[in-house]
Structure 1
Amino acid sequence: MDVKAAIKAVKQGQISPVYLLYGTEKYQMNEFVSLLVEQTISKEERDFALVHYDLAETPLQEVIEEAEMLPFMVPRKLILVQDAAVFTAGKDYAKVEHRVESLLEYMKNPAEYSVLVFMVNQEKLDERKKVVKAIKSDGMLLSFMPLGSEDLLKWVGKKAKEHGCALEEGAAEIIIRNAGTQLQTLAAEIDKLCLYAGRGGVIRAETADQLIARSMEQNVFALVEDIANLRIDRALAIFYELLKQKEEPIKIAALIARQFRIILQVKDLAGQSYSQHQIASQLGLHPYAVKIAGEQARKFQAAQLKQILSRLGTLDYEMKTGAIDKVLGLELFLLKLAA
């Protein structure tokens, strides 16, 4: 079952006795846990019904004992378990000894009054392990991975609607490009924009661009975007703004090189018929970043990208050895790109 189906089931009161949540998208995972709390425990019962454990400090068998123990003064309890490394590959260097068979036994006859929720903030589980197979077949295994580019745009629009405001065409793109792809950050920025627009108001692309402060990485991302579209005046304006913010030119050059390296890698993998999600997984990037890099890649030949990276390598050496003034060196690099 996917996350959408699981959310629908929870809202209908169909609660699984055991959940295993994994993935790198913590915001969505926390939203799902909040929904479980709302649907299973009333506010006045939460002091007694909500139990937290960390497997870095507590043996798994103690968590199972808690699940089997009758709840005190409440009809049902929700047990949230963090750092569930027993479900992942590799060695577990924790000092706590876990008896995984205790969970396997528990799953054969889970308590009706307990809901166990294990949370693993990692991209993959070790599906060779018996416990993972058992939860996959008898419990509820849910993956919380970064949204695809189109889903991310829809998510931004949905969040704005929840706050009672609408987005002008193109505003969602600006919000993501300025704020980045982390859902927690995006949610905060959308909240701010909707407060500015007012209930029933419209968030315009220009407003989003003015109100969302870009991080260093997002500024470099925009700078490369301007270079790709031959908007050298705007690229230089971003560069000078970064200098005003006391950013180190060598660091700026390194981030520019990183972005061009990503563009070249995306171009190469796309040429081998890799999908957007496959490229994202291969390079460890968000699918939206891959989408934008793919759009930028179409504006360069592979040979051009290699030449740009070679120039950046030479520039890095000259800046670090004092052969050229750091600011002047970057200015000349940007002007040569425009030419």
Structure 2
Amino acid sequence: MDAKSAAKDIRQGRISPVYCLYGSEKFRMNEFVQFLEEQLISKEDRDFAVIPFDLSETPIQAVVEEAETVPFMVPRKLLLVRDAALFTSGKENAKLDHRIEALQDYLNAPADFSVLVFLVNSDKLDERKKIVKTMKTAGTVLAFNPLGAEELLRWVERGIASRGCQAASGAAEALIASAGTGLQGLTAEMDKLCLFAGTGGTVDAAAVESLVAKGMEQNVFALVEHIAALRLDQALDMLHELLKQKEEPIKIAALITRQFRIILQVKELSAQSYAQGQIASQIGVHPYAVKLAGEQARKFGAGQLRDILSRLADLDYQMKTGGVDKVLGLELFILRLAPQGTAAD
């Protein structure tokens, strides 16, 4: 089951006695927890009915004991249990004696007046553990992984619409290009853009350009995009703008190297018929970054990309050993590289 299906069940009154949430997308995980609170516990009851726990400080048997205790003054309790390493392959807190059998027994016969929610700080669960197998049978396990490229675009468009505005064509892409793929950052920028546009207004790429400041990584991505498209003047302008912002040239070179490495990895894995999500998982970047890197990869051959990475490695050595002025080294790299950015295999 996914989070969308679980939310639909909750709205229709089909509540699981236990939820186990895991994955790298903490923002969406916290959104789901907030949704659970709003759906299950009235606002005036939350001080009594929502009970937080941290398994780095509290043994699991104490959580189970609370779950089995009849609620006072409220019809239902919501127990939020963080740092739930019991379900992963990581080491548990050695200072506490977690009696897993207590949770195992509880899962076999959960109380009907408590909803137990485990928030696991891990990208995956340890499927070998008996407690994980029991959780999958007795409770609801939900993964919160990064949204795919198209899912992220739709998420931004829905977010703008939910704030009483509409997104013009290209606005969502422009916002992600400027703010990055972090949902918390995108949420803050959508709030700002929709406040500027006003209720019923339109958020367009021009508004994004004027109101949303690009981060360092986004600027370097744009710089590489200029190089790939043979826009030499714009690439140098972007470099000089970064330098005006007091960015360290070695750091700029390192981020350029990272982007070209991603482009090469995406190109090679795509040639092996890996899907976008598989590539993202394999190289540890967001699926949207894979989508954009794939577009850039079409402008270079694999051999060209390896040569560029070799040049960047040499530039890094020269910059760190004083063999070349840092700024001049970056400028020469761009000047010598730009003619290579032609469409290739």
Match of 2:181 in 1: 181
Match of 1:79 in 2: 79
Contact preservation (8 Å) 2:228, 2:338:
no
- Residue identity in the other structure for 1:129: K
Contact preservation (8 Å) 1:56, 1:94:
no
What pairs up with 1:1-150 in 2 under 5 angstroms?
1-150=1-150
Are 2:310 and 1:310 aligned?
Answer: yes
Aligned partners of 1:145, 1:241: CA distance in 2, in Å?
34
What pairs up with 1:195-274 in 2 under 5 angstroms?
195-274=195-274
Corresponding residue SS for 1:78: strand
- Residue identity in the other structure for 2:316: D
Aligned partners of 1:153, 1:180: CA distance in 2, in Å?
12
Contact preservation (8 Å) 1:168, 1:205:
yes
- Residue identity in the other structure for 1:179: A
Q: Cα deviations across residues 93-136 of structure 1 (Å, max 9, x unaligned)?
A: 44112111111101121111100000012111001111111111
Aligned partners of 2:252, 2:144: CA distance in 1, in Å?
32
Contact preservation (8 Å) 2:56, 2:93:
no
Corresponding residue SS for 2:115: strand
Number of aligned positions between the proteins = 339
Match of 2:284 in 1: 284
| Moved segments of 4+, more than 2 Å | 90-94
Aligned partners of 2:230, 2:168: CA distance in 1, in Å?
26
- Between the two proteins, what is the percent identity of the paired residues? 65
Q: Cα deviations across residues 226-284 of structure 1 (Å, max 9, x unaligned)?
A: 11111122211211111111111011001101100110011111111111111111101
Aligned partners of 1:233, 1:123: CA distance in 2, in Å?
42
Are 2:135 and 1:159 aligned?
Answer: no
Contact preservation (8 Å) 1:13, 1:39:
no
Aligned partners of 1:12, 1:236: CA distance in 2, in Å?
57
Q: Which runs of 5+ in 2 are unaligned?
A: 340-345
Q: CA RMSD in A?
A: 0.9
Contact preservation (8 Å) 2:87, 2:125:
yes
Corresponding residue SS for 1:174: helix
Q: Which runs of 5+ in 1 are unaligned?
A: none
Point out the more displaced range, 248-257 or 121-130: 121-130
- Residue identity in the other structure for 2:180: G
